[in-house]
Amino acid sequence: MAAAAARRTYAVPLDELRATDLPFVGGKGANLGELRHAGFAVPDGFSVTTNAFVSFLGAAPDWNGLLAALDALDVEDVAAARELGAARRDQGVLDLALHRPGDRLPRAQRLRAG
């Protein structure tokens, strides 16, 4: 996969991935692509690109605030972790990243449909 194409796409079929794509799809995606090319029985699938993750981070409201809140959590306080998770879900972090105004299909469905 060409580096320029990787920067423009959010998901890449495993058949198109090789070890050299590691910077764009991470280790799991690159390794699954290599396994498919070697003839191993790897199910059809795709890998989400690092570009998709960066776009997600850019769309998420107050990402730095979330990281600060996570850093401040007591790792033994499960109730506080649940409250923080619930608050973020209520803010629609995933909805904001995957559903943009005017979209007729959620972004994840469009990516899967190709």
Task: Let me know: does 62 contact 84? Beta carbons within 8 Å.
Answer: no
Residues 15, 107, 28: CA angle, nearest 5 degrees = 35
Q: What gap in Å lies between CA 42 and CA 33, rounded to an integer?
A: 9
Tens digit of pLDDT for each residue in 30-44?
Answer: 999 999 999 999 999
| Strand partners of residue 92 | none
Q: What gap in Å lies between CA 82 and CA 76, rounded to an integer?
A: 12
Does position 90 have pLDDT exceeding 60, yes or no? yes
| Position 91 confidence tier, pLDDT thresholds 50, 70, 90 | low
Q: What is the rounded average pLDDT for all residues in the chain? A: 78
The residues spanned by each domain of the chain are 1-53, 60-114
Mean pLDDT calculated for residue range 20-38:
94
pLDDT at 7: 52
